[in-house]
Amino acid sequence: MGIIGSNNPPVVDPKVALVTSWSKKIDAKVAELDRLLGSATTDFWSNPDYTPQQMAAAWGTNCGDLFRISGLTAAYIAAVRKQTRTVLPAGWTFVVNADGSVTLTPPAPVTPPAT
């Protein structure tokens, strides 16, 4: 039993402290990646000035790599955080062309049922 009112900090195993330190660093990097991916996704798909196809055209022959890296990053974040993370809005499809550019197809318009 300890001394009442003792100001001695608890003894922490150095290995546990090292693991805890690295876990916090990794968590911070995953959070940073998640924010970066979220910002890039919003800029690409929800840009008020450009359509997604215009954004893809601006990326040119690097757009295929952008999609590949974004997909891998989303999968990594999802695996680490055990949650779903997507970068392609529902209904959209894409094709990476031979030159690395991307052609996007938006979702089909929803037609309301006839009344």
Predicted local distance difference test score (pLDDT) of residue 74: 94
Structure tokens at 41: 């996704």
3-state DSSP assignment of residue 96: strand
Beta-carbon count within 10 A of 44 CB: 21
Task: Name the average pLDDT for the chain.
Answer: 90
Over residues 43-56, mean pLDDT: 96
Encode pLDDT of 90-100 as tens digits.
Answer: 999 999 999 99
Q: In 3-state terms, what secondary structure has residue 60? A: helix
Q: Where are the beta strands (DSSP E) in 6-107?
A: 93-96, 102-105
pLDDT the model gives residue 53: 96
CA distance 66 to 64: 5
Mind listing the pLDDT tens digit for each residue in 53-73?
999 999 999 999 999 999 999
The pTM for the full model equals 0.75
Asked if the model's pLDDT at residue 2 lies above 70, the reply is: no
Residue 104 DSSP label? E
Residue 6 pLDDT greater than 80, yes or no: no
